[in-house]
């Protein structure tokens, strides 16, 4: 399923994240791309809001690289690749292989394009955000059960 949604303000971006979060069952990859200030962390807060997690506890993992949020339904790993090299190094830097061993967890990756071509054997929600928050954001959502060779 593909769709493009325009959000006009941060509240609408947050609500779109909540809408995405309400569809998660565990085991999904959420790949976020967009420039600085595009709203990747804001969208993540919305996702976690739908999972009844305290959004005040959700922060960008820019320096930690990975934040773990334990929700009532499943664990959510929030990864930020901004400071990582592109390609296999990015996945190695955050221990992605080990994180993916938990098949019921949801993995949200900001700056997912830094992974380069990679295969996932779980459902993928790809979210591409255009705009920086000073103007409306165009948010393209692509859902697939699997992306055999995803170039994110």
- 115-145 pLDDT, tens digit per residue, is 887 778 899 999 999 987 678 999 999 998 7
Q: Are 144 and 8 in contact (CB under 8 A)?
A: no
CB-facing half-sphere around the CA of 11: CA atoms within 13 A: 0
- Homologous superfamily of domain range 2-151: P-loop containing nucleotide triphosphate hydrolases (3.40.50.300)
Distance between CA atoms of residues 19 and 34, nearest Å: 19
pTM of the model: 0.89
Domain ranges (residues) in the chain: 2-151
- 99-110 pLDDT, tens digit per residue, is 888 899 999 999
Q: Are 94 and 81 in contact (CB under 8 A)?
A: yes
Measured in degrees and rounded to the nearest 5, phi and psi for residue 97 equal -60, -45
């Amino acid at each position: 399923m593909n769709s493009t949604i325009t959000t006009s303000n941060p509240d609408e971006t947050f609500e779109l994240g909540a809408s995405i979060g309400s569809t998660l069952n565990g085991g999904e990859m959420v790949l976020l791309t967009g420039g600085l200030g595009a709203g990747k962390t804001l969208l993540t807060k919305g996702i976690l809001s739908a999972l009844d997690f305290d959004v005040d506890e959700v922060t960008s993992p820019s320096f930690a690289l990975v934040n773990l949020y334990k929700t009532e339904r499943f664990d959510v790993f929030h990864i930020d690749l901004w400071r990582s090299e592109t390609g296999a190094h990015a996945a190695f830097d955050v221990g992605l292989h080990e994180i993916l061993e938990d098949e019921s967890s949801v993995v949200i990756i900001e700056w997912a394009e830094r992974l380069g071509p990679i295969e996932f054997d779980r459902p993928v929600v790809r979210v591409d955000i255009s705009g920086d928050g000073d103007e409306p954001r165009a948010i393209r959502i692509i859902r697939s059960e699997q992306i055999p060779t995803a170039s994110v």
